[in-house]
Amino acid sequence: MPPNGGLNPPHIHRRATEILLVLEGTLHVGFVTSNPDNHLITKVLSPGDVFVFPTGLSSFSIPCCQDYAVAIAALSSQNPGVITNANAVFGSNPPINPDVLTKAFQLGKNVVSTLQKQLGGNK
């Protein structure tokens, strides 16, 4: 992971399970189970720790307790696919109607508009 906030943002691998092995540093990792529970499973990983992210669930990782971490990720498919949640929703092309996003996420129209502009969905 890159230094200074090397976030691997919430994303989904639709066609693969991911396994992560931490080599250096400390990582905060997690995933959210499917509906209706949407239960957050998290763990702080140290060197030598391994974590499995199930296929199709939204997952993330970010260095914690210091500025960096080194990890190896392996996926159970040569073509795992990746959907970054925020990019898919706020950066779609053409953009999703802001009224839909405003209601779905209970955000103001200005916030939705800003997110769409930042992520390329409102060109």
Give the pLDDT of residue 121: 62
Sign of the alpha-carbon dihedral angle for 105, 108, 109, 115: negative
5-32 burial by CB neighbour count: b if 16+ within 10 A, else e?
A: eeebebbbbeebbbebebeebbbbbbbb
**Ramachandran angles phi, psi of 68, nearest 5°:** -150, 165
Give 16-37 pLDDT, tens digit per residue. 999 999 999 999 999 999 999 9
Residue 8 assigned ligand-binding role: yes
> For 68, how many CA atoms within 13 A lie in the half-sphere containing its CB?
5
Q: Spell out the domains of the chain, with CATH numbers in brackets.
A: 8-81 (2.60.120.10), 86-119 (no CATH)
Q: What is the CA radius of gyration of the chain?
A: 16
pTM metric for this prediction = 0.86
Give 104-121 pLDDT, tens digit per residue. 999 999 999 999 999 986
Residue 13 assigned ligand-binding role: yes
> For 41, how many CA atoms within 13 A lie in the half-sphere containing its CB?
12
Give 58-72 pLDDT, tens digit per residue. 999 999 877 789 999
Minimal CA–CA distance to 35: which of 15, 56, 19? 56
